Every structure is written in structure tokens, then in C-alpha cells.
Structure 1
Amino acid sequence: MTSAPPREAGGRGAGRRRTELAAFLRSRRERITPDDVGMPPGPRRRTPGLRREEVAQLAGVGVTWYTWLEQGRPINASTQVLDAVARTLRLDGAEREHLYLLAEVPEPASGEAAGLPEDLQSILDALDPTPASVTNDRCDVLAWNAAYAAIFPHLVNAAPCERNSMWMALTLPPCCNPIENLAEEAPMHVAVFRHRYSRHMNEPAWKDMLRRLHAASPLFTRLWAEHEVALPGPRTKVFRHAAVGLIRTRTTHMDITASPGTRLIVYTPTDDESRERIARLMEDPGAAVPDHTH
């Protein structure tokens, strides 16, 4: 049985905030169609977008809880649950921040970058124009240099909760997906992720990541069912950028002992043409900006 929401507190200002929160969530829900999230349209709808129960299902939260949230009732919301709602409603960075402010929940710091050694960004910057990044076991991208940002603008400009190389590789549509050899790389991505998952399977953030990938990527679900495991290692990775074409690299992984569970990944261009194309992107930052968003 669902308990009643707590009594309203906080005065007139809190009431206005909850009214605004209710209207904001409703407007974001109504702009997403069932087809957008791979759900059948079902019987004739009274609302132009998703139903409340569909948002709750996709976000992995209770229908009653989400209904109360959208009604502006004074309920408690965790950052993890708000993140799930934000992803389901496809909120961009500004919208996500707005949601947290209206829900009166402090927005979490971006990823785990605060725990990295203080000299690491200087090391990344010194590697320019060779692309490099720092990731954790879950594939969250925690830090990067300018060359990396030039190749992967969708990734570095994403909300912190979506700044993840697995998410990018397996959910971006073909028009924006930078991985040219995805057919080769996707199975290895998933196999390495499964190997790491075995050490973290009881952690909420890992459970949430697994649920989101299953919901968003049929390719991930198919590969996950194969139960392949692999260790990370050097790989030839080919990327395509709309402004310059193909960029061929060889990756090198180096564990960061001062921050267990994180690693420095360096993408070394394998030919002069790829080096020249990275240089062109760095010289013209406007060319690296995506021409559209999803």
C-alpha cells in the first residue's frame, strides 16, 4: 500500500516552485511520443505524448510516486531518481538543472572527476594534439583534452549522467555516432563492460546503467545475452567526423594508481591524414560543434 505524501511545508515560495515543477514535467512528457522511445502507440490517447505510467515505467520508478511528483506534491526525491526521470524525458543540460532547482535537490557534481589527481588535467593537456581521456570502470568520461573534445563533441557536451562512452557508442543514431567500425567495437565494448560489471553488480549506479542500456539499445541487449567477457587492451578504433571524415587511431590504456578504477586512454593517430584531420578540428572549433541534437 502506498503511503500518503508528507504534509506541505515551506510556505508560498515552495508552493509556487511545486506548481512550476508540475507544469514543467507535464510539458516535457507531452513532447515525447511512444514511437520516440520504442513503445507501441496503443489505443487512442487523450494526451499528445507519453502517459504518466509510461514515464514511470521507463524511468524505473513507481507510478504513484511519479504522479505525485508531476502533481507538485511535497515528496522527497533522490538525485538518482531525478536523473532517471531526466533521462527518460530527454532533458538537456539546462532543463536538467531546472528540474533539480524546482525539486529543491542539490545537483550532484559531474561524475567522479573531483577525486582525480590534481595534475592529471595538465597531463591530458600536454598530450594535445593527441586525443586522450580519463574514464572509470563504468565508462564514465571524467576528464579529457581539447583534441578528444574536438572528435567527440556529443559526449563532452552531454549532461554528466550521460557522459559515458558506452552510452554514446550504443545509443547515438547513425547520423551522429562517431564510431565507424561499430560492428567490430560494440561486441568488445560489451564484453569488457561485463568483465568489470562482475565486480560492481550490487552497486546502484551500475544497476541503473545496465537497465538504461537494455531499455535504449537492442544491440546491447543482444550482445549482453551472449555472455562474452574480455579484458581491455590496445584497439584500432576508426571514427568519423562530419567535418573532416575518417580518423584512424590506436588506443592505449594506462591505469591511474592514485585513483583506483580509473584509467588514462590515449588515442594515437595511425597515419598522417588522421593527424591532419584532428589538427583541422582543433584549429576550427566551430567545425567540431554538432549541427543538430537529439
Structure 2
Amino acid sequence: MHQQSEQRRELAAFLRSRRERITPDQVGLPSTGRRRTPGLRREEVALLAGMSATWYTYLEQGRDVRASYQVFDALATALQLDRYERGHLFQLAGHAPAAEAEEPEALAAEVAAVPLLLQPHPAYIIGATYDVLSYNRAADELFPNLTATADRPANFARWVFLEPAARDVLVDWEPEARGLLARLRTLAGRHPGDVRYTRQIDELKSGSPEVRAWWPRYDVQARHGGRKRLRRPGRGTVDFTYTAFHLAEQPEQTLVIYSEDQLDAPAAD
């Protein structure tokens, strides 16, 4: 029962956060008078979704009400959710299979060896909560102080938000940190009631004012590859391309490989 109650609260807060970011102009509604809160009113969302304003209010209040897949599909459209946000909404609404809480993550020896084989390219494997399960020397040099302790593994989210060196290494620290927190929110939504996420978020909130400010925004995002600008000792800012591969037998374990971006390198003679 506690898990269901917590999930309803998460759903209510997520709906409210998405409603408050949309203006009437964005959805073709007239902006009438002063508004006590930013964004759309509850009755406006209900109108756009073709549902009862009372039922929508119940959802935002976290009441124990049941709504169909079609209702949440209409809400996702009305709130202009992207595909990651839609998936998160359906998870919270109970219209997607929720993963069970897992035992501490294990990594097969042959999988743990993969980052070592990729040296000199920085590479690491992260788990469901961004624990760094394996990494090579190049990754250790690229992300200084990404170290394990006697009682727990290194954790990339902890490094980004709580390790002072991260703000120097990550040239674009704020967008990088916001994106990581959005991906962590997505993962937590797939594991309602999983104490690993509760403990992790509590730790990040206690040590990071940014996490305290950004977590209530309910941004969600999937893990993906991309580009990063990183500062390297003696070299200044270096552009990197990184690629993420989900492991076949453990899809929430991800191999991440970095390579220096060669797009701007001069052509050979």
C-alpha cells in the first residue's frame, strides 16, 4: 500500500510540474486574467484532454482513482510530453510494467574486462543507479576522484554532484548535470519503491542545492550517446564523442566509450 501511495504522489507531482510549464498561448487557449500559478489551470488541461476537470483534479491530488490508458494518452498529448516523458507518465500511472527491486548488481568477469580491453579509450560500465561497476585507466584519468570506497562502488551521479573536481572537468556542468538527473528520475520511475533510488536521491539532495532545486521539476530523459567538452590537465578543453551500449542480458547496465572528437582535425596530406 505504501508503494502505491508513493506512486500516486509521484504521478500527481509529475502532472503538476508538466502543467505548470505550458502557457495558454502554446496550446491555443486565450490567456484570461492574472494567474496565481504559472502555466495552465487544471480545468484547461482537462478540457484539452477531453476529460472531467474533477477527475483530473483527483489525479493531481494523488487520490486513489483509476483512469484508462486512453485517458493518460490524451493527457500526454495535452501536456505536450516527449516520448521519454510519456513513458514515465505511463509507468507512474500503472500502464507499463514496473520493475521489481533488485539485489545489489553483479557484473560477470568477462563483461567487467571489456573497459580494460578498450584502453586507451576511456570506458566504463554503469549500473541502474549509476554505480560504476568497471572502468579503465583512461576513464580514471578523464574523471579524477571517481573512486570506490570499502563499502560501496564509485557512482557517476555522486561524482557529478558531490565531487568538486566535476565542475572543473565538465565544461558545461549545468546542462550535463541536469541531463543526468533527468535520466536518474526516469530510472527511479521504473523502480517505484526501490530503496536504492530513495537512498541515492536523499544523499544527493543533502549534498547538492542543485538537486534539491531540480528534482521537483520532474524532468525525464533516456540514456544516450552524444558529445561532451572536458578539461584535461595541460591541454585545456577537449571535445569528446561518447557512445552508450546497453548490455544484452542486463539492459540497465550500460557500457560507455569515449573518443576524442576528430571532426575538426586537419586533413592529412
Secondary structure of the residue that 2:240 maps to in structure 1? strand
The correspondence for 1:211, drawn from 181, 202, 219, is 202
The aligned residue for residue 148 of structure 1 is 139
| Pairs aligned (count) | 162
Q: Output the CA distance in 1 between the equivalents of 2:166 and 2:186.
A: 30
The aligned residue for residue 82 of structure 2 is none
The aligned residue for residue 232 of structure 2 is 241
* Distance change (3 Å), C-alpha of 1:121 and 1:273: farther
* Distance change (3 Å), C-alpha of 1:177 and 1:209: farther
The aligned residue for residue 200 of structure 1 is 191
Q: Output the CA distance in 2 between the equivalents of 1:157 and 1:196.
A: 22
Secondary structure of the residue that 2:238 maps to in structure 1? strand
The correspondence for 2:169, drawn from 178, 186, 203, is 178
The correspondence for 1:187, drawn from 158, 178, 183, is 178
Q: Percent identity?
A: 22
The aligned residue for residue 73 of structure 2 is none
The aligned residue for residue 262 of structure 2 is 271
Q: Output the CA distance in 2 between the equivalents of 1:259 and 1:165.
A: 18
What do you get for the CA RMSD once the two structures are aligned? 2.5
The aligned residue for residue 94 of structure 1 is none
* Distance change (3 Å), C-alpha of 1:230 and 1:141: same
Write the mapping of 1:7-26 to structure 2, written as runs, cut at 5 A.
Answer: none
Secondary structure of the residue that 1:198 maps to in structure 2? helix
- In the alignment, does 2:191 pair up with 1:228? no
* Distance change (3 Å), C-alpha of 1:175 and 1:198: closer
The one-letter code sitting in structure 2 at the alignment partner of 1:193 is L
Q: Output the CA distance in 2 between the equivalents of 1:273 and 1:146.
A: 26
Structure 1: unaligned runs, 5 residues or longer: 1-110, 275-294
Q: Output the CA distance in 2 between the equivalents of 1:170 and 1:235.
A: 20
Q: Output the CA distance in 2 between the equivalents of 1:249 and 1:219.
A: 25
Post-superposition offset of 1:257: 1.6
The one-letter code sitting in structure 1 at the alignment partner of 2:146 is L
**Larger mean Cα displacement after TM superposition, 141-150 or 239-248:** 239-248
Post-superposition offset of 1:144: 0.7
Structure 2: unaligned runs, 5 residues or longer: 1-103
The aligned residue for residue 259 of structure 1 is 250
Report 1 or 2 for greater relative contact order, CA contacts < 8 Å, sequence distance ≥ 6. Answer: 2
* Distance change (3 Å), C-alpha of 1:231 and 1:247: same
Residue by residue over 1:190-233, the C-alpha shift from the partner in whole angstroms, topping out at 9 and shown as x without a partner, is: 11110111122312221110101111001111111211111111
The aligned residue for residue 122 of structure 2 is 131
The aligned residue for residue 155 of structure 2 is 164
The correspondence for 1:122, drawn from 82, 88, 113, is 113
